[in-house]
Amino acid sequence: MSGYSVKVVEGKYNLSGEFHTIEPNQPILDEKGKLCGITNPRRIVHHHSLGGEAPFFQAITRGRLLATRCDNKNCKDGFGSIFLPYRIHCPDCLERNTEIDVTDLANKTARVYSFMVCERSGAFNTLEKPIRFVNVEFDGVATILMSYLLGKQEPKIGMKVRPIFRTKKPTYTITDLAFVPAETAEKDLPADFTFSK
């Protein structure tokens, strides 16, 4: 479905076009023609705020990886912790975290903590199957980022990887960030993806 647009103007959503379509429903009959139910078709477009995480999603379209760090010296458990997934507030003290650029750290230290090759997907999947999920560790980062591996190599625990970014034709979703084996050459990157910029 297309033919709609969503913008934010002066802090308010500005919507135009069609956000849903109406289709006729159908009866569900058994083999003898007895009515068992009805279908309820609908197509709906939601518009969703990325809020305080928007800088992360914009950065990956520009070839940079952002994380956040708790800089509250009074935070016993969280002080100094680096969070990736980008976390707006520290989970311990709930103070606003400091945004930091971890692109170089990721380029140098990213490695596979766990992985899964998944032959199936749910409806609305946009990734090529099988999907190679990778959970990526970085030196000094408190968390383990979920992403996916591209390229022909199969993932392994401990494998060194590098982030790549869908800087051409971005979707502004988490699928704009992926990883490849660390030794991958730029010429071998999938279409629309680049190394960091």
Partner 1 sequence: MITFSKRQLKIPKFARDVYLVTGGNSEFRRAFPEKRTEELCIEALQEAAKYVGMTATELKKYIHTCYYGHFADHFGDQLLGEAVIHDRLGLDPLGNIGVKTGGATGGSTIWEAAKAVASGYSDCTLAMGWERMDEVPTDEGNNYISCAADKDWETPLGHIYTGYYAVMAQKYWNVYGREEESFRRTLAEISVKNHGYAYHNPFAQAGMKITVEDVLKSPVVAYPLRALDACLMSVGASCVILADKETAYQMCKQPLLLYCAAGSHTLRVADRRDMEIPLLPNETEETYKDLDKEFPGGERYPGFTGFLAARMAAYYAYNWTGIKDPCEDLDLVELHDAFTISDVQTYEDIGIRPYGRGRTYVESGDCYHTNPKTGKPGKLPANLSGGLIGCMHAVGATGIMQVVDLMYQIHGRHAEIHGDPERWKRYGKQKPKDWEDLQVKGAKRGLAISHAGVGSHVTCTIVMQPDARLDK
3-state helix, strand, coil in the chain (%, to 5): 10, 35, 55
Within residues 97-126, the interface with partner 1 by CB under 8 A covers 113-126
- In angstroms, give the least distance from the CB of 63 to partner 1: 19
Q: Is 77 in the site for partner 1 (CB under 8 A)?
A: yes
**Total chain residues near partner 1 (CB under 8 A):** 47
Of 48 and 152, nearer to partner 1 (C-beta) is 48
Q: Is 143 in the site for partner 1 (CB under 8 A)?
A: yes
Query: Exposure string (b/e) for 53-79, b if CB count within 10 Å is 16 or more?
Result: eeebbebbbebbbbbbbbbbeebeebb
**Does the bond joining 130 to the residue before it have cis omega, within 30 degrees of 0?**
yes
Q: Is 133 in the site for partner 1 (CB under 8 A)?
A: yes
- In angstroms, give the least distance from the CB of 16 to partner 1: 24
- Dihedral class, residue 25 (left if φ above 0, else alpha if ψ from -120 to 50, else beta): beta
Can you tell me which of 27, 47, 173, 188 binds partner 1, judged by CB under 8 A?
173
Q: CA–CA separation, 81 vs 93, rounded Å?
A: 12
Using DSSP's 3-state secondary structure scheme, residue 137 falls into strand
Q: Is 57 in the site for partner 1 (CB under 8 A)?
A: yes
Q: Is 94 in the site for partner 1 (CB under 8 A)?
A: no
Q: Is 80 in the site for partner 1 (CB under 8 A)?
A: no
Q: Is 36 in the site for partner 1 (CB under 8 A)?
A: yes
Q: How many CA atoms lie within 13 A of 131 on its CB side?
A: 15
Residues that bind partner 1 (CB under 8 A): 28, 30, 36-37, 40, 48, 50, 53, 57, 76-77, 81, 83-85, 87, 91-92, 113-127, 131, 133, 135, 142-148, 157, 173-175
